[in-house]
Structure 1
Amino acid sequence: MSTDAPADAPGNSPAAKDVRYLLHPYTNGVKHRDRGPLIMQKGGGCWVTDDSGKRYLEGMAGLWCTSLGFGEERLIEAAAHQMRQLPYYHLFAHKSHDPAIELAERLCAMSPPSHDGPMDKVFFANSGSEANDTAIKLIWYYNNAIGRPEKKKIIARIKGYHGVTVASASLTGLPANHKDFDLPIANILHTGCPHHYFEAHEGESEEDFATRRAEELDQMIQEEGPETVAAFFAEPVMGAGGVIVPPPTYFEKIQKVLQKHDVLFVADEVICGFGRTGEMFGCETYGIVPDMVSVAKALSSAYLPISAVMANKTISDAVIDNSGKIGTFGHGYTYSGHPAAAAVALETLKIYEERDVISHVKQVAPRLQAGLRERFAGHPLVGEVRGVGLIGAVQLVADKAAKTPFEASQGVALKCADLAHDHGLVVRPLPGDAVAFSPPLVISEEEIDQLLERFGRALDDTAAWLSQAAA
């Protein structure tokens, strides 16, 4: 199979070497051979610049993650200082270091509370995928520890996104993450997606829809056997599955079902955590009382890889006691709580507090949410505009009245995102032809206006492209 570079790329250029040597995540490899990469070389604030010198407003904060924007000197200095002092150490076999200790304490203090009080222990990993994979293992370990070896099934949601490791990709409810990977693995189940726009029955109110989704979950647990169902995973707002905002009363009703059947709730805050929804955590926005919480991305503003799983006291006590019986807790990563990453995460959390980033989000988010709705809800290609805080999506449809989606083969959202690049804006196409927005939390109102204006031009260009294709 050919690995030639794009026809116009010199043989030893970075673009040619990219095509020759890199296997890109979430990329059509065949198309990549033809079109090659968009190579970014520098960033500042909410902007990035490619290797041709063109600037782009980064409307996705990278991958939902660069919350403080690019070039934050305090984070750079935190990493450099820690690198000079202790560039690496581990947490295995009773070893520790100050950045991991302080970060764990701070996360427990600020985390969403559980039914038995604040989160009690933190386990560090390197990505959201690893954090959720760890959460699954902790759940299984916990139930073995307390004498419930049959209580192992875990329920996630269709269109939910929880990562790409074998277990976390099994939780993820998107076809591309399962197809030809032989996933999902056993004991992972999926219940319905809470997307009222596409999933509601005709005339069904949002609250009635929420009731039905909760009843479906209840029925699934009863059919599987409550004694076999261990946990439920959910993002407060579903991110990569389409920026799907839960309907009113949804989580209230879901939690009653989980409590009824003694099923743990794991809140995946990888995207929503640290201000994205307008509160420090999405759990606060939607009244979620979790048993475990996974975080990543904005934990370090993505400057260095780090993630964490937080567990309540009931779970952590059982895990610790069981490790005593076995002789060790046989799980961990070489880079768990890496000192440089932990130092950067600590500085990130300090900046959120000192600059009151949450208040800034609350101030500017209405401009994004109102702007998306006012400018695009009436556009002939747009079926729905949805979002909260500084996360949103525009749903592209072939027929507004019938809510008819485009054929996947048309790649309409992908084309729209490419056209946005032409106008100096980075957005993300999602499965089902949604286009997502998740700018750095430090974005200004003026930059939001630029984001809206540039996307408007890309959307009009998309409509013209479709018209030309149909002619």
Structure 2
Amino acid sequence: MSVRPNSLEARDAASQMHPMVNLRQYEKSGGLIIESGEGIYVKDINGKRYIEAMAGLWSVAVGFNEPRLKEAAIRQMDKLPYYHTFSYKSHAPSIELAEKLLQMAPVPMSKVHFTSSGSEANDLTCKMVWYRSNALGKPEKKKIIGREKGYHGVTIASGSITGLARNHECFDLPLDRMKHTSCPSYVHYGKTGETEDAFTQRLLTELEDLILREGPETVAAFWGEPVMGAGGVLIPPAGYWQGVQAILRKYDILLVADEVICGFGRTGKMFGCETLGIEPDVMVVSKQISSSYMPISAILVNDRFYQPIADESARLGVFGHGFTASGHPVASAVALENLKIIEERDLVGNAARLSAHFAERLAHLAKHTLAHSSRSIGLIGALELAPWEGTATGSAAAAIAAAAEEEGVILRSVGEAICFCPPMIITQSQLDDMFDAVGHALDKVAARREERAAEAAE
């Protein structure tokens, strides 16, 4: 693909430095320019409509044109377009949103601190973990354990907790005090002949061995997504989270649950922690908190976490941190209205009710000759592809995602999988449209491969 001179695509390629792309390739080809959205659909500048099967970036719960969110933003813009939460100041939208989140939390939480993205929230949580250790007189207790394939953001600290090589390479990451334990994906890392229970026990033993090797007195916190989204929708086996929590309690290690993708209904319950039986000290939320209509994220902390930090701020005279946009009144007002919509329209229930049909349709795609297996929970899932001989890692999934785009569905390829995370307003018939189109894409790619094989044989 090449861009037309002076087109919007060409202007984009000439002016913007985009994330998560081959920058040189983008200069040549440009990208898909989206102009409008309605419900589960978006349209490009040429008028082609797509099912947005990734809800943007795992995040647009209520669809792409919800008038109540626009109206909430306008009302707040008219009243108070901006104010901060520094220096003993506040405003009603951030107060009401904090109260709402504490009321919604699946385990007792004490305070909420607002930031603007999941990366910022995880980064600040990391800082607060270190601050808390110092407050407790444990300056050596600073190491953080993340997991291979885990994703927690791209700042220096959050990017270091992330366990994806593409977010580390050439950035001088991860930081030395960030450690990583194995990814709990049985389909990817289970050994030949190893049962799922044995796999789980192996990972738990590995985690405890890592803590003992580093020294429990040096390990402050463990970070984990209930279901690992950006790593490829990786669902942990039964007993994994229960075992992890027992080990963390044994060695006095904090648990941070990254609910940025799972939170607000994606797994069929309000939070992934409820679905997986997790009782964290800290929850990080973003994305579906506002359906990404406004950039906002939040850190929910329990009293065990909060009290030493508050005591230390009293000793020092200040909690020396702040972002200009923390608790932004317009973002807070939009998030509040978004959460009301999720509750009033029972979108969590919709995800739960459609979960079986979603899994069934994914399993049917897994029978395709190009596929290996499927996995899902609630309204998030992935289709794992069979290895293609002579094909570079990830290129098979990228080919299918590109073919799906031709068929009018926007997906995301991760490694050898294509991922699905549609808006939570989706209906069963729309799910069928989505999976039918992806089935056509699989057939199209298979036919192209057969044609190339036939040509090579001549």
Question: Do Structure 1 and Structure 2 share a fold, with TM-score over 0.5?
Answer: yes
How many angstroms does 1:469 deviate by?
Answer: 4.3
Deviates more, 1:120-129 or 1:196-205: 196-205
d(CA) in 1 for partners of 2:240, 2:212: 19
Match of 2:443 in 1: 460
How many angstroms does 1:462 deviate by?
Answer: 2.1
Match of 1:94 in 2: 88
Match of 2:281 in 1: 291
CA spacing shift, 1:152–1:453, aligned 2, 3 Å: same
d(CA) in 1 for partners of 2:452, 2:227: 35
Work out whether 1:209 is the aligned partner of 2:199: yes
Q: Residue type of the partner of 2:252?
A: D
Q: Residue type of the partner of 1:96?
A: S
CA contact (8 A) 2:3 2:28 kept: no
Work out whether 1:176 is the aligned partner of 2:166: yes
Match of 2:422 in 1: 439
Secondary structure of 1:124 counterpart: strand
CA spacing shift, 1:405–1:366, aligned 2, 3 Å: farther
Aligned with 1:386 (options 361, 368, 375): 375
CA contact (8 A) 1:412 1:462 kept: no
d(CA) in 2 for partners of 1:428, 1:394: 11
CA spacing shift, 1:466–1:34, aligned 2, 3 Å: farther
**Once the two structures are superposed, what CA deviation does each residue of 1:404-444 show, in whole Å capped at 9, x if it has no partner?**
89532x611111111111000011011x2210000000100
Q: Percent identity?
A: 49
Aligned with 1:228 (options 218, 231, 237): 218
Q: How does 1:102-113 map to 2 (within 5 A)?
A: 102-113=96-107
Work out whether 1:424 is the aligned partner of 2:408: yes
Structure 2 runs not aligned, ≥5 long: none
Work out whether 1:47 is the aligned partner of 2:41: yes
d(CA) in 1 for partners of 2:390, 2:245: 32
Work out whether 1:9 is the aligned partner of 2:4: yes
**Once the two structures are superposed, what CA deviation does each residue of 1:44-75 show, in whole Å capped at 9, x if it has no partner?**
00000000000001100000000100111111
d(CA) in 1 for partners of 2:448, 2:26: 21
d(CA) in 2 for partners of 1:127, 1:8: 32
**Once the two structures are superposed, what CA deviation does each residue of 1:267-294 show, in whole Å capped at 9, x if it has no partner?**
0000000000000000000000100000
Q: How does 1:7-406 map to 2 (within 5 A)?
A: 7-11=2-6, 13-113=7-107, 118-373=108-363, 375-398=364-387, 406=391
Q: Residue type of the partner of 1:239?
A: G
Count of residue pairs brought into register by the alignment: 454
Match of 1:3 in 2: none
d(CA) in 1 for partners of 2:410, 2:118: 22
How many angstroms does 1:7 deviate by?
Answer: 4.5
d(CA) in 2 for partners of 1:203, 1:188: 32
d(CA) in 2 for partners of 1:141, 1:462: 52
Deviates more, 1:19-28 or 1:198-207: 198-207
CA spacing shift, 1:215–1:8, aligned 2, 3 Å: closer
CA contact (8 A) 2:159 2:168 kept: yes
TM-score normalized with structure 2 length: 0.97
How many angstroms does 1:232 deviate by?
Answer: 0.4
CA spacing shift, 1:316–1:41, aligned 2, 3 Å: same
d(CA) in 2 for partners of 1:222, 1:265: 17
CA spacing shift, 1:195–1:7, aligned 2, 3 Å: closer
d(CA) in 2 for partners of 1:262, 1:406: 46
Q: Residue type of the partner of 1:379?
A: H
How many angstroms does 1:393 deviate by?
Answer: 0.3
How many angstroms does 1:8 deviate by?
Answer: 4.5
CA spacing shift, 1:325–1:19, aligned 2, 3 Å: same
Runs of 4+ residues over 6 Å off in structure 1: none
**Once the two structures are superposed, what CA deviation does each residue of 1:318-342 show, in whole Å capped at 9, x if it has no partner?**
1111111111111111000000000
